[in-house]
Each structure stands twice: as structure tokens, then as C-alpha cells.
Amino acid sequence: MPDDLLSQLKAMTTVVADTGDIEAIRRFQPTDATTNPSLILQAAQQEARRDRLAELARRAIDMDDALDAVAVEIGSEISELVPGYVSTEVSARLSFDTEATLARARSLIERYGRHGVGPERILIKVASTWEGICAARQLEREGIHTNLTLLFSFAQAQACADAGVTLVSPFVGRILDWHKAQEPDADFDGDRDPGVQSVKRIYDHYKGHGYHTVVMGASFRNSGEILSLAGCDRLTISPKLLEELAETRGSLTPRLTPQDAETHPPEPLDEAEFRWALNEDAMATEKLAEGIRKFMADQRKLESLLAELRKG
């Protein structure tokens, strides 16, 4: 009888847990784990964490200090369960401020160090705005690894590779959401899924031009999207879909494979070219802005929770 699909996927792709749920990470044993403000909020709302979060909130200098303390506390717990990277996100409020992003990223790395987690274990997540990509370029020069998130366009992927970021997270499901809203009767199954097509294009571009940036497909709506990207460098998957894959048997073959690298990557995009290309892509422009707003909405909810706990 064939092995379950999750076991086969792990043999060809690095599986990352898209959750802040410690028990889910312990169960599925991914190589890496990635968090964002929405996932940190979910973890923070667990009753078992309430007393500890109250302590962190009361000790914090201000709300930013409290937010980062919570993120690093949860990230440090996760680091004990996975052998690879843990991704921790800079506040979405800083998505258009390069210098503030740099300061916050360095602070997060220092906090992790105080928890005994070295910079080689952490990916600092930054939105794939022009300002975020500029910050990531500098952080990589300083030896701080980055994960560029909310990536919806090929222009964003080009600029991230040019900046030498460690990893990019193209959002498969949110791309599909946009196209379904535009064409509700269209067939987007399998390889016709525009989110899947986007990741394949980015993957082929990186491998074909010898970029070392890791491609990690993210934001999946169904297991079919995941199976269509088997062989991708990394895939970050929710506990619900991890469970579905673990309980499903069948035969899985790689769908993405590296190409022979070319000698010379294309000319890098400058700021004007990047902004124009992003502006020309209505889906990417809308989903990037929406994604930043959604992350901030959940961050504000977390801020409210911590403010209540701080009052005691």
C-alpha cells in the first residue's frame, strides 16, 4: 500500500508548519515553522498562556515591546520542536518604513539571543514592499536571514532575488481567491490554479538563473494546490491540510524540478521599474495592500488583549 501523501511530500520538499500551535507542530514534526500576526494572535488566545502573557505585558516598556516579547516567547518554544528555521514577522505597520523595519528586525534577533536562539535559526518576515525588500537587502548583509512575505507578483519575486533574501513566500491561495472573484465560473483546478502557476514561474526563474533564494509556497486553500507544487523548495502548510495529507494514501511524484542554472541573472529592477510593474498587476497591488491591512487588524486585536492583561 502506498505511503501517506505527507510522508512522500517530506521526501521531496521541506515541509513547514504554518501555525503557532505547539501541539500541531509536535504532532506533524515539520522541518521549519512560520508565524504571522494572525497565528500569534491565535496562540496568544489559548487559556493556558494567559498568565504568562499577562506577565510579559506588565513587564513591557510599551506595546511594541510587549508584542515582540510575545512573538519571541512563542517562537522560542517552537524552535525547540523544529530543527530548522522559525519565521517571526516585523510589524505590518512598518511595511513602508525601511529604517524602522531594520531596527525592529535587529531587536527581534537580540531578543531571540537572550532566549538562547541564534540568528541562524530565525527568519525575519517582512512584507514584499519596496521598502521591505530594501530592508531585507541590508539585513542579509548583516547576517540576518529574511523571509519576504505577502508576495503576489513576479516583480516582487525578481526584486527579492536581486536583494539576496534567504526565502520568499508566494501566496498561492490568496491569488486564487482574487481570480475566483473575477471569474467565478472559471475552472482553476490543478495546474490551472493561478497561484500554482505563479509559484512555478518564480521557481523556474530562480533555478534557471542560479538564484539561491528559497521558494516557499504559502497560503493554500486545498491539498490539490500543495500536490501540484510537490518538489518546491519549501511549502508552509496549515495543520488542517497537514492532517488531510497524513491521512491520504496515494502515489506522489515531483512536479517541480531544478533546471540547469544560467551564468548571468537578468538585470535587477530599480525602484521605478518595480513600482510600475506592481502597479500594472491589479491582483498583486490589491492583495498586497489587503494582506498588510489584515495582518494589522490581527495585530490590533493582540494589542487589545495585551492591554487588558496589562491592567490585570
What is the rounded distance in angstroms from the CA atom of residue 201 to the CA atom of residue 192? 13
Beta bridge mates, 67: none
Contacts for 253 with CB less than 8 Å, ≥ 6 apart: 230
What is the rounded distance in angstroms from the CA atom of residue 116 to the CA atom of residue 114? 5
C-alpha grid cell, residue 93: 505597520
10 in active site: no
C-alpha grid cell, residue 161: 532575488
Sign of the alpha-carbon torsion through 66, 68, 71, 76: negative
At CB < 8 A and 24+ separation, what contacts does 176-185 make?
176/221, 176/225, 177/221, 177/287, 178/283, 178/286, 178/287, 179/283
Q: How many CB atoms lie within 10 A of CB 309?
A: 19
Angle at alpha carbon of residue 77, lines to 73 and 79, rounded to 5°: 115
Instruction: Mark 63-79 as b/e (b = at least 16 C-beta within 10 Å).
Output: beebbbbbbbbbbbbbb
Q: What φ, ψ does residue 98 adopt, rounded to 5°?
A: -60, -50
What is the rounded distance in angstroms from the CA atom of residue 76 to the CA atom of residue 110? 12
Give the active site residue among 10, 125, 200, 287: 125
What is the rounded distance in angstroms from the CA atom of residue 234 to the CA atom of residue 10? 9
What is the rounded distance in angstroms from the CA atom of residue 303 to the CA atom of residue 312? 14
What positions carry a catalytic annotation? 125
